[in-house]
Amino acid sequence: MNRVFSDRIIFQEPCMNELRKQYTFVDMHVHSKYSHDSITNVRNLLKKAGKLRIGLSITDHVRAEGALEACRQKKVLVIPGIEIASKENKEILLYFYDAKDLREYYEKYLKHKMIFHKPSKSKLVKTLRAVRSAMKMSDIIEKANNYNCLICVPHPYTYLKRSSYLFFGRKKRADLLRRIDAVEVLNSTHRKFMNKRALKWAFKKNKAFTGGSDAHILSELGSTVVASKGDSVESFLNSVKKRNNFVIGSELKFPRAMKEVIKSMGYKRKKDWKKIYNV
């Protein structure tokens, strides 16, 4: 692997005090109560981000309300984002330069076009598949290309047969892969070997790179951040596209991370997904 590339991914707990004068830090993968597997309030996420002196991107599952709510305040840098599970049950992250574009994309293509699975008390897989877009991945990306946004593959090596590196790596999807800007190479809720494989895959496919905590509970926020000299949404995302950023973070202990996600999903199993998603 290219040493210059790998040296910009730092596997350790973020320590940012000495770098704040030059860099802006953003956790680019965060979930709020609007995701089916989280119960964290947007207000609390913003409050903690302010204390940590970092920005964040709320990337809820097939929902934009959390990101749009966060964008209405100006104290914390918020990158408008969303995580979309496609009809094939593969995920993609979209980061918009403008909240208005995120709102339009969501309302036009996602809000009333979802697939819901009946919640199961015993099968975690079905719960993780609870909410998806009715669009195929090719349609999600094609429509996103009409907006000014950064398209990123999250955790390409992941759990429960949801890994997307094979999906995007197939020859018949070569054109689709070319439309993708970046790969998430450090995700705090995943194992180190998964992140290292993601890093190698990003380099092999010549992609820019991002990272995030994938926080589903408040304590996870900021465990991985992306650093850039850009201090606005536009300059930050441009920096990522141009690969003038670096990522620093550490993995959370797997039992703790999964335990909290299961707890959140257990709470929401008591309700119907369609009622939660207000459709």
Residues 242-251 pLDDT 10s = 999 999 999 9
Residue ranges per domain, the chain? 3-14+25-276
Under DSSP, is residue 8 helix (H, G, I), strand (E, B) or coil? coil
Determine the CATH number of domain 3-14+25-276.
Answer: 3.20.20.140
User: Among positive and negative, which fits the CA dihedral 51, 52, 57, 63?
Assistant: negative
Could you tell me which residues come within 8 angstroms of residue 23 by beta carbon, excluding any fewer than 6 positions away? Answer: 16, 227, 228, 229
**What are 81's strand-pairing partners?**
95
Residue of higher predicted confidence among 106 and 21:
106
Give the integer Cα–Cα distance in Å for 227 and 19.
Answer: 9
At 129-161, the pLDDT tens digits run: 568 899 999 999 999 999 999 999 999 998 766
Mean of the per-residue pLDDT values for the chain?
87
Q: According to the model, what pLDDT value does residue 122 have? A: 47
Q: How is residue 132 written in tokens?
A: 């998806």
Nearest alpha carbon to residue 250 among 175, 189, 188:
188
Amino acid 258 reads M
Report, in this order, helix, strand and coil percent for the chain, each rounded to 5: 40, 20, 40
Q: How many CB atoms lie within 10 A of CB 272?
A: 12
Using CA atoms, how far apart are residues 240 and 107, in angstroms rounded to an integer?
27
How far from chain centre, in Å, is Cα 252? Answer: 16
| Contacts of residue 262, Cβ cutoff 8 Å, sequence gap at least 6 | 124
pTM of the shown model: 0.89
Positive or negative torsion for Cα 263, 161, 41, 28 = positive
pLDDT above 90 coverage of the chain, percent: 69
Least confident piece of the model among 11-15, 33-37, 111-115, 142-146: 11-15
For 171-204, give the DSSP string: GGGHHHHHT--EEEEEETTS-HHHHHHHHHHHHH
The strand pair at 246-249 and 224-228 is best described as antiparallel
Query: Distances from the Cα of 118 to the Cαs of 79, 96, 114, in angstroms?
Result: 32, 31, 13
From edge to edge, which strands make up the β-sheet containing 91-96?
A: 81-85, 91-96, 149-153, 182-187, 208-212
Per-residue confidence band for 58, with pLDDT thresholds at 50, 70 and 90: very high
Q: Work out the average pLDDT over 208-215.
A: 96
Q: What is the pLDDT at residue 123?
A: 46
What is the residue-wise DSSP string for 54-66? -EEEE--BT--HH
Indicate the DSSP class of residue 12.
S
Distance CA 153, CA 209 (A): 9
- Is residue 16 helix, strand or coil? coil
Question: Which stretches of 55-120 are assigned E, i.e. beta strand?
Answer: 55-58, 81-85, 91-96, 114-116
